[in-house]
Amino acid sequence: MLQRVDHRRTLVLGASPNPHRYSYRAVELLQENHLETIALGNRKGAIHGLEIETDLKPFEHIDTITVYMNQFRQAQYEDYMLSLKPRRIIFNPGAENPDFEQRAEQAGIETLEACTLVMLRIGLY
């Protein structure tokens, strides 16, 4: 079930410093909605002053992970995502991963195949 926008911490997995990528725009919109955001990607860079992390740090209090990488690239991050114990994981278009979604749900994590950009724009993030 979708919830109204609040101030919970979101990790954007697959964040890119390229302004033409959807992950870049997601970081922008999360910040515009005053949501605490962590950008995690495989290349250093920044999005409007927010540094893109490249190390798998044990971030705490992650409410949502929003995924912007295909299921094959996700494989190396699956255990990491579970270790953060988010409330939910959003699999954006192109990031769907049925096997990992099932694994996350078995760990008590809500999964959504949805578009973070749309959810933010309509106020159902």
Of the pLDDT bands very low, low, confident and very high (cuts 50, 70, 90), residue 63 is very high
Q: Using only C-alpha atoms, what is the Rg of the chain?
A: 13
Q: What is the mean pLDDT of residues 91-98?
A: 98
**Residue 39 resides in a domain:** yes
**Residue 4 resides in a domain:** no
**Residue 72 resides in a domain:** yes
pTM: 0.92
**Residue 19 resides in a domain:** yes
Q: What is the mean pLDDT of residues 57-80?
A: 97
**Residue 116 resides in a domain:** yes
**Residue 1 resides in a domain:** no
**Residue 52 resides in a domain:** yes
**Residue 5 resides in a domain:** no
Number of folded domains that form the chain: 1
| Domain that residue 62 falls in | 10-121
CA dist 51 and 40 (Å) reads 9
